[in-house]
Structure 1
Amino acid sequence: MKTLIFMAAFLFCGFTASAVETKMMIRAKARDAKFIGSSLGGAHIIVRNKVNRQILAEGNTTGSTGNTDLIMKTSKTRGTSIADPQTAGFLATIDIEEPVFVSIEVISPLNNKQAQAVVSTELWLLPGKDILGDGIILEIPGFIIDILKPRTHQYISLSSIKGKPFPFQANIVMMCGCVIDKGGIWNSDEMEVKGILKKDGKYLKDVHMSLVSTNLFEGNDLLNTPGNYELTLYAYHEKSGNTGVDKVNYVVYE
């Protein structure tokens, strides 16, 4: 009897698959720019089992934005890597017993809510079949825009600005944090940056913005009447299709 039980247990174990550690490198890359890493707070990665939505791995990308020459200036052919060992990524390590269909969700930039985008993809993950090197790269479109002037819900006395140009100011970077400069790789001359100004809910005028130093855009206009103002500031790059928006509300009072 004991012999039969032992044989049954042996056969059962022989047909039971054991979990295998499987690694997958996941990276987030800004459209028309570099990788999203530690300098920007990282991109948040979630890997789920597509069937039951169980989270299999979760974390942030860490590392550098990558090699500028390799990413932005080198001609690409099949099999050419654009990531080096320092390039930002998230290494997911997952124990699976059989092929699993997974969804990968990237939330980025993690610390800039007004610019945050979510992109995702799906693929089969096979036990023991690692996906390394460049790994899975998801592209994040857009710009990160932070309006610096005026401040949110700032109260401004009409007497202090009447007859004077009122300053508008914004900081704009690529989704990887890469710099925008005149004549640079990310050339401000190729970008349209404009503010749309409303007063008491109605369109008032456009405010044209221009680069004054790295990443910093400024414009100004005359505000001669009190009211509740809203500034919607956007950036647009026709070649890449990148867009970005930030909004601020402020009050001009007598």
Structure 2
Amino acid sequence: MPRNQWKPFQSITVQWISLLLVCLVALPVANASEPKATDIVVRAKSKDAKFIGSSMGGAMVRIRDAESGEILAEGLTEGSTGNTDLIMQQPHRRHQSIAEGAAAFRTSLMLSEPVFVTVEVLAPYIKKQARVAAQTQVWLVPGKHLDGEGLVVEIPGLVVDVLSPQTHRYTQMADAPFPIRANVVMMCGCPISEGGLWDGSQMEVAALVKKDGRDFATIPLALEDVNTFGGELQPDGPGLYQLLVYAYDPRTGNTGVDQVSFIVR
């Protein structure tokens, strides 16, 4: 066949080869950019205690794109505090889950490429005076789930609520001495009791009292009942009293604070 008659066939062959190469190059790119569901589980665990769940209003979890700050998912942990024996008493082996049945926030993100995220946890969410913000960061890879035990974020601290005297209460010197009562629980709501798993007799709880803006007294509070510490305040005269109750566990460094002010006439 004369040479010039091969040109149409050569042209067609080149076109097909070019098209094939384009398809081969484009195919991996298309597959790589296809979004894949990526499941994520986040849990909030009270330091020296159990998981923070529905009984404490949950922990607010926010997952943000670390670069842009965009919120990719958010919500509250839901469920129980978990298995006390498994979490607090049994020895733990490597890769052993302790989160059986425990509260968690679950979500699924459609990701087309790996993303570096910041995971923020605010807990216990409904207890503003005790709420702690903790965060960590992690890479999420499309289709590579972060499930099972999930990402566990530790929340340090104690929840303290002053029960009496009440905020902005007006009272009379004739009613003195005034009882001081405070409720103290772990961040997961776990009970503090005499000689219990969370032993209140080993904790330091006290009221720091100011009168008219000046230091007045430090009053130790003793464990009176489950979660309840008490003492008495003997004022020396009328004035504006400010009372700050703190709880401190020297074994773990956990602390918590609440405060009120009241008026003595």
TM-score (norm 2): 0.89
The equivalent residue for 1:32 is: 48
Cα offset for 1:211? 1.1
Cα offset for 1:9? 8.9
Letter in 1 for 2:120: E
Structural mapping, 1:169-208, within 5 Å? 169-208=181-220
Structural mapping, 1:47-66, within 5 Å? 47-66=63-82
The equivalent residue for 1:15 is: 29
Which stretch of structure 1 is more off in the superposition, 117-126 or 213-222?
Answer: 213-222
Structural mapping, 1:1-254, within 5 Å? 15-16=29-30, 17-84=33-100, 86-161=101-176, 165-253=177-265
Tell me the secondary structure at the aligned position of residue 139 of structure 1: strand
5+ residue gaps, structure 2, are 1-14
Cα offset for 1:221? 2.7
Letter in 2 for 1:97: S
CA distance in 1, matches of 2:175, 2:105: 51
Cα offset for 1:224? 2.9
Cα offset for 1:79? 1.1
Tell me the secondary structure at the aligned position of residue 174 of structure 2: helix
Asked if structure 1 preserves the Cα contact closer than 8 Å seen for 2:118 and 2:136, the reply is: yes
Which stretch of structure 1 is more off in the superposition, 106-115 or 73-82?
Answer: 73-82
Give the count of matched residue pairs. 246
After the TM superposition, which parts of structure 1 deviate over 3 Å for at least 4 consecutive aligned residues? 6-14
Sequence identity of aligned pairs in percent? 44
Tell me the secondary structure at the aligned position of residue 180 of structure 1: coil
TM-score (norm 1): 0.92
Cα offset for 1:12? 5.2
CA distance in 2, matches of 1:103, 1:219: 44
CA distance in 1, matches of 2:184, 2:169: 21
CA distance in 2, matches of 1:64, 1:159: 47
CA distance in 1, matches of 2:219, 2:28: 73
Cα offset for 1:15? 2.3
Asked if structure 1 preserves the Cα contact closer than 8 Å seen for 2:210 and 2:242, the reply is: yes
